[in-house]
Chains A and B, each alone.
Chain A
Amino acid sequence: MKHTISVIVENKPGVLSRVAGLFARRGFNIESLAVGVTDDPSVSRMTIVAEGDERDLEQITKQLHKLIDTLKVFDIPRELSAERELALIKVAVNEKNRGEITQIVEIFRARIIDVAEDSMTVEITGEESKVEGIIKLLRRFGIKEMVRGGKIALQRGGAE
C-alpha cells in the first residue's frame, strides 16, 4: 500500500540526505518527495510517498523519529488527506490538433503557460488521478518533455 508520510525537520544542511538515506537503508522505495520550508523558516516539511505494509510503515516512522533533526513524523490517511501534485507537460502541436488540445486543457482546468510554433506547455495541478488523466489524453499528441513535482499533502480540517 502507498503511504503519504509527512516529516517535519529542522531546516539544516544535510537533513534531506539523512531522511533519504534512511529510506534507502531500510529498503523502502521513495516514490515521490517534496521538501520546502514551513511558516517557520527554521523548520522544513517533507512529504514522502512510499510503498509498504503497516509494519513497514510503523518501522520507518519510528526510524525517522530517531533522527536527531526530526521534530515530527506522521502518516496522512488517504481519506483525510488534501493533496496536490503539479506537472508541466510540453505537448507537440500542429495546426490541426491545437483546438483539440486546448479543449482538453479546459476540461481539466489546466493552464497553458507557454506556446510555440510546434509545442504548448501545459500546467496541471490536482490529485494524482487528475494529473494521470490529462497525461494519458495528451500522450497521443506526443509529449516532448514532462516534469512532475512530488506530491504535497495536508490533513484536512483542524486536526493535524
Chain B
Amino acid sequence: MEITGAEALLESLKKEGVEIIFGYPGGQVLPLYDALYSEKDIKHILVRHEQGAAHAADGYARATGKVGVCLATSGPGATNLVTGIANAYMDSIPMVAITGQVPTMLLGRDSFQEADVVGITMPITKHNFLIKKIEDLPRIVKEAFYIAKSGRPGPVSIDIPKDIFTGKLKFSYPEKVEIPSYKPNLKGHPKQISLAAKAIAQSKKPVLYVGGGVISAEASAELKQLAEKCGIPVTVTMMGLGAFPDSNKLALGMLGMHGTASANYAVTDCDLLIAVGARFDDRVTGHIPRFAPHAQIIHIDIDPAEIGKNVRVDIPIVGNVRSVLKELLEKLGPKENHKDWIEQIEEWKRKYPLSYKKDGLKPQFVIEEFCALTRDRETIIVTEVGQNQMWTAQFYKFEKPRTWISSGGLGTMGFGLPAANGAQFGRPDAIVADFAGDGSIQMNIQELTTAVNNRLPIKIFVLDNSYLGMVRQWQELIYQHHYSHTDLANNPDLVKIAEAYGCAAKRVEKPEEVRAALEWSLTIKDRPCLIDFVIAREENVFPFVPPGQAINEMILD
C-alpha cells in the first residue's frame, strides 16, 4: 500500500520510538500537519515560537536521555530554530530538527519562505539532510536518529520539501543503518587503558575532572566506583553537575571560572588529572599554561577531535566513557587511600566553603531553601543564563544525573523556560523548576502559554535583580562600574505578566517569606507558577576567576 511522505515521516518517527514532538505550523509543513490531525500515537505540542520548540526538545532530551524532536516550517520557522539547534550542538544533545522546505521545483530560486537550511545549519549540526527523493525518506530518518544519538550525540536536521510530504511511496522502514563513513569508536584501546591504570596507581594527588560526557554515556555508577575504589576526589564541569553526588565525601563541586576554591586549588595542585567526558573549555581552564601545571593528564572521550584540542594530553583514551571506565576498573587494584591528599582537600573545603553574606534577600538563600525542601523528591533543576545560572550551579546540591539542565556551551538566555517545559513533558512526575533571571525570562516568555495550555506544573523562580546581572558584574569588576545598558529597572511587572498568561504568581521581598512561598509553589499542580524574588540588586557570583587568569587566582568575595 502506498502512503504519503507526511504519513511515512510519522510512521518513521514511531519506529524510532518518538512519543512527542514540539512544533509550529506553516505553509510548507501543511501536509504534515494534516497527517498530524488524525495522529494518535505521537503527541504534538504547539509552542509559541520555534526557538521554544528547539529548546523544549533539548530539555526533553536532557531529562530523559531520548532524542528530542522539533518541527518548523521553512524560511522564518527554520531560522527561528537555529539558536536552539546551536545550543544542542554545543552541549552534545541528541535532537532531530525537522523543517519544511519549498517544493523541490522551486529550490534555489529565492522562493517565498525559502532559506538554505542545510547551509545555515551545517556548522551547528552533527549532520544534516535535504530529502530530494521520497524513496530516501525512511532511510534518512533512520540515519538521522542513529547519528543524533550514537557516538558523541548532537543535533541532526532534516529539511523536507513540500512535494516530498505530498508524494507517495511504498513504505518500509530499514532494519539497520549502514553508513560506511560513520563508525564511532566505542571501545578504548587496551594499551592506553593499562597506561592510565598505571598512572592512577602511581599518583599521589589525583583528581577526576568530569564533564557532560559522563551523563550522556550514563556512566555515573562507574565513575563513582572508580572514585571510591581509588579514593580520587571529583570535580565536575557545569555540564557535569549531577554526574557525581555532591554529598559524597570526595566531591569538590564545580571547577573553573565560578568553581569552588577547593576544586580549583585541587586541579592546580594535582599530579594526575583524569578528564572524563569533558573538553577543557576556556571557562574551565582559565589561563591554559597554568592549568593543572604539575599534572599528567589522562583524557577519556568519545570524540577523538577533543583530544589535544585545548591542552596537551599524556594518555588519551578514545571511546565510550562508560565502557572505558568499566575496563579501567578491572585493571585497577584496590588502592591505599591518598591520605595526605585527601586531608589537604578536606582542609581546603573547610577553609573555603561557598558562602555569602546573609543580609537582605539573597539569591543563594532562595536556592538553598529550595534545595532543602526538595531534598528527598525527584527534582529537575533548569536555569536561564547569567548569575542565576551560576548561583544555582553552586548552591543547589545535585545527587543524580539528568537533574540539572542548563545551557552550557552556547550560554543561551531564554533557554530555561522552554527547556523546563520539555523536561516536564519527559518527566511528568518530577518537580521541574527553572531558576531564572529577569532578563532571560523575557527572552522566551511566550512559552508560558505552552506551559499553561498543557497544565505543566513547572516552577519559575525569577532571581530578580532588575539587571543583566552577570554582565553588570563584569562591568563592576572589570569595566570600572560602567553599567552600560545593563540596568533593567524598568522591567514590566513579571507577576502580572505571569497571571495574564494564566500562571499562579507572587512576589517575595523578604527572606522570611521565602520558605512559605516555595512551599506554596509545590502545592500548585495544575499550572505553572512564577515567583518573582526581588533580590539584592548588586549581589555578585563568587568565586570569580577573571578572564585570562589561572584558576587558582580567584576573587573569593
List residues of A whose CB falls within 8 A of some B CB.
Answer: 9-10, 14, 17-18, 21, 25, 55, 58-59, 62-63, 65-71
Contacts and interface: CB of A to CB of B under 8 A. Distances in A.
25 contacts: A9-B181, A10-B180, A14-B118, A14-B130, A17-B119, A17-B122, A18-B122, A21-B122, A25-B123, A59-B308, A59-B309, A62-B304, A62-B305, A63-B305, A65-B304, A65-B305, A66-B303, A66-B305, A67-B127, A68-B126, A68-B127, A68-B179, A68-B181, A68-B182, A71-B180
Nearest to B182: A68
A118 to B, nearest CB: 41
Interface of B: 118-119, 122-123, 126-127, 130, 147, 179-182, 303-305, 307-309
Contacts of B309: 59
A71 B304 contact: no
Contact of B308 (A18, A25, A58): A58
A62 B301 CA distance: 13
Contacts of B123: 21, 25
A56 B167 CA distance: 47
A59 B305 contact: yes
Contacts of B182: 68
B313 to A, nearest CB: 12
A67 B123 CA distance: 11
Q: List the 10 shortest-distance A-B pairs measured between CB atoms, nearest first.
A: A62-B305, A68-B127, A71-B181, A68-B182, A62-B304, A63-B305, A10-B181, A66-B305, A69-B181, A25-B123
Contacts of B147: 68
A115 to B, nearest CB: 41
Nearest to B132: A13
Contacts of A17: 119, 122
Contacts of A63: 305
Nearest to B123: A25
Contacts of A71: 180-181
A72 B181 CA distance: 8
B242 to A, nearest CB: 27
A16 B173 CA distance: 29
A65 B182 CA distance: 9
Nearest to A59: B309
B181 A70 contact: yes
Contacts of B303: 66
A81 B180 CA distance: 27
A6 B305 CA distance: 18
Given A58-B308, A59-B305, A71-B180, 11 more contacts: A10-B181, A21-B122, A25-B123, A55-B308, A59-B308, A62-B305, A65-B304, A65-B305, A66-B303, A69-B181, A70-B181
Contacts of B181: 9-10, 68-71
A60 B319 CA distance: 20
A71 B122 CA distance: 18
Nearest to A25: B123
Contacts of A9: 181
Contacts of A59: 305, 308-309
A59 B306 CA distance: 9
Nearest to A60: B305
Contacts of A18: 122
A70 B303 CA distance: 15
A10 B182 CA distance: 11
Nearest to B179: A68
Contacts of A25: 123
A71 B183 CA distance: 10
A9 B181 CA distance: 8
| Interface-centre pick from B122, B127, B181, B309 (highest chain A CB count, 10 A) | B181
Contacts of B308: 55, 58-59
Nearest to A55: B308
Contacts of A21: 122-123
A52 to B, nearest CB: 14
A63 B308 CA distance: 12
A116 to B, nearest CB: 38
A9 B118 CA distance: 18
A62 B127 CA distance: 16
Nearest to A61: B305
| Interface-centre pick from B119, B180, B305 (highest chain A CB count, 10 A) | B305
B492 to A, nearest CB: 39
A10 B143 CA distance: 15
A35 to B, nearest CB: 16
Contacts of A68: 126-127, 147, 179, 181-182
Contacts of B179: 68
A151 B307 CA distance: 30
A149 B303 CA distance: 35
Contacts of A62: 304-305, 307
A10 B122 CA distance: 17
A58 B180 CA distance: 23
A64 to B, nearest CB: 9
A53 to B, nearest CB: 13
A21 B125 CA distance: 13
Nearest to B151: A66
Contacts of A65: 304-305
Contacts of B304: 62, 65
A127 to B, nearest CB: 31
A17 to B, nearest CB: 7
Nearest to A62: B305
Nearest to B122: A21
B71 to A, nearest CB: 22
A25 B127 CA distance: 16
A18 B182 CA distance: 15
Nearest to B147: A68
A59 B119 CA distance: 23
